[in-house]
Amino acid sequence: MNFLDSEPLYIQVYQKIKIDILAGKLKSGDKLPSKRSLAKHLEISINTVEAAYQQLIAEGYVVSQPKRGVFVQQLESQLPLTKSEIVLKEANSPKWFIDFSQGMIDTDHFPLSQWRKYTNLALDDLANLQLGHYQGEFTLRKEISSYIYEARGVTCSPEQIVIGAGTQYLLKLLLMLFDLGTTVAMEDPGFHRARMSFGEAGMNVLPVTIDKDGLNFNQLYETRAKLFYCTPSHQFPLGAIMPIGDRQKLLQWATEQDSFIIEDDYDGEFRYEGKPIPALQGLDKGKRVIYLGTFSKSLVPAIRLNFLVLPPQLLKRYQENLSHIKQPVSKIHQRSLAFFMQDGHWQRHLNRMRTLYRKKQETLLLALDKYFGDRVKINGEKSGLHIVINVLDTKLTEVELIERAAKVGIKVYPTSIYYIRPVPTYPQLLIGYGGVPLENIPKGIKLLADVWC
């Protein structure tokens, strides 16, 4: 499954099965996997598989036999697909009027002239064309160390920082320090790509429920996990902030269980009521927190520049066992960012973007109130670059809401992919606003109200 694809997940499932039928890989009479087993295998919701199967049934490719399953129909002919037919999906990908993606930023306000200046400065030093230190350039690690202490309360030395190309890369690097089959607990719902990274690394992944009362500590203790992945400053995707009491209990759990906490602080810079919430790592006296930070939300995602802060015992293990792994992030990008931070442009840029995103957040909330009123419940609106809405008093499913939005050129996102346990009975959708032009936000919400209500 391609979760970044512009097409709904059920369409991707439908098209793959359809292509396999037309190509003869699935023959007449073959039984399709049960909806539950396919959903589990693809890590998507049963509703998504149900929608794909219904589309195949409607077009006559398969037939549902009560209490037996879904079977491939006999077709008049099964001609091999041409190459152009197989890639037709890419050519016909819809052009979105508004894409409410949580992964996009406002590129119109990227400080291009300053970035070009510092890139040229980095290129002037021919040594930057060579490979650098496996942990990342020391000048950048020093700047990051100072910044996260001042802004996020993270206490570390530059030597504890490991730079890497994206969250998934760093998670997989981190997991190489642990045995195969290690139990990793994570918030449920939680970041699906982290969950996939844990599974791909051969870890035993167990969910810990997040609900209106916060983290279920009874479940956490029952997992006996050696690692717990969480997003305490802005829970992904629901947006809650972990209260100080739960933070202290979580640190106590890690100490008692001789376990580690992976704190993913993916957008902690953006808080619209009060000051940014200090990182959990700053409260950690037992050195049990692994801090994960990124420049994807705050600067630009394309440079793929993230970082880990390893506690001393894991740093030693990393340096002894993984120093042979080359640094994947461009040395030129690293030096450019270091110059950018040294000259104060980073903090000024962050302040400007915080003001801009606050305006977008306010505009989004006003538009939702105007066009939906009490027909939606909003979660996670106090920080970050996305919100989650519960659509109330509707008979439409999550898939149907996404489909209706797509018909008017609006891309919204499911939350069902973030759940391990059964998803909520009411439809719940994620709406990002960082990359949407300010003037388009009310237009997009009005179109959603037109097709949903």
CATH code, domain carrying 33: 1.10.10.10
Residue 93 lies in a domain: no
Task: State whether 262 and 174 are in the same domain.
Answer: yes
Q: Are 198 and 171 in contact (CB under 8 A)?
A: yes
Q: What are phi and psi of 186, to 5 degrees?
A: -150, 160
Contacts of 283 by beta carbon, 8 Å cutoff, 6+ apart = 247, 248, 251
Task: State whether 282 and 430 are in the same domain.
Answer: no
Predicted confidence at residue 351, as pLDDT, reads 93
Cα dihedral 175, 177, 179, 184 sign:
negative
Task: State whether 329 and 414 are in the same domain.
Answer: no
Q: Mean pLDDT per 10-residue run, the chain (453 residues)?
A: 65 87 86 91 86 85 89 68 47 74 93 95 93 96 97 96 96 96 96 92 94 91 98 94 93 97 93 82 94 94 95 96 96 97 95 95 97 94 93 92 94 93 85 96 96 92
Tokens 């066992």 found at: 321
Task: State whether 119 and 226 are in the same domain.
Answer: yes
CA distance 18 to 34: 16
* Other C-beta atoms lying within 10 Å of the C-beta of residue 413: 23
CATH number at residue 446: 3.90.1150.10
Task: State whether 361 and 236 are in the same domain.
Answer: no
Beta strands 227-230 and 214-215 are: unpaired
Residue 359 lies in a domain: yes
Number of domains making up the chain: 3
The half-sphere exposure of 403 on its side-chain side, counting CA atoms within 13 A, is: 12
Q: Are 272 and 361 in contact (CB under 8 A)?
A: yes
Task: State whether 154 and 281 are in the same domain.
Answer: yes
Residue 380 lies in a domain: yes
DSSP strands (E only) in 96-226: 98-99, 161-164, 183-188, 204-211, 214-215
Query: Please, where are the H alpha helices in 203-330?
Result: 217-223, 244-257, 312-321
The pTM for the full model equals: 0.79
* Other C-beta atoms lying within 10 Å of the C-beta of residue 273: 8
Predicted confidence at residue 89, as pLDDT, reads 46
Residue 55 lies in a domain: yes
Look at residues 315, 344, 373 and tell me which one is the last residue of a structural domain. 344
Q: How big is the chain by its Cα radius of gyration, in Å?
A: 23
Residue 3 lies in a domain: no
Q: Are 187 and 230 in contact (CB under 8 A)?
A: yes
Task: State whether 355 and 443 are in the same domain.
Answer: yes
CA distance 1 to 18: 15
Q: Are 357 and 434 in contact (CB under 8 A)?
A: yes
Domain limits at 66?
Answer: 9-72
CATH number at residue 245: 3.40.640.10
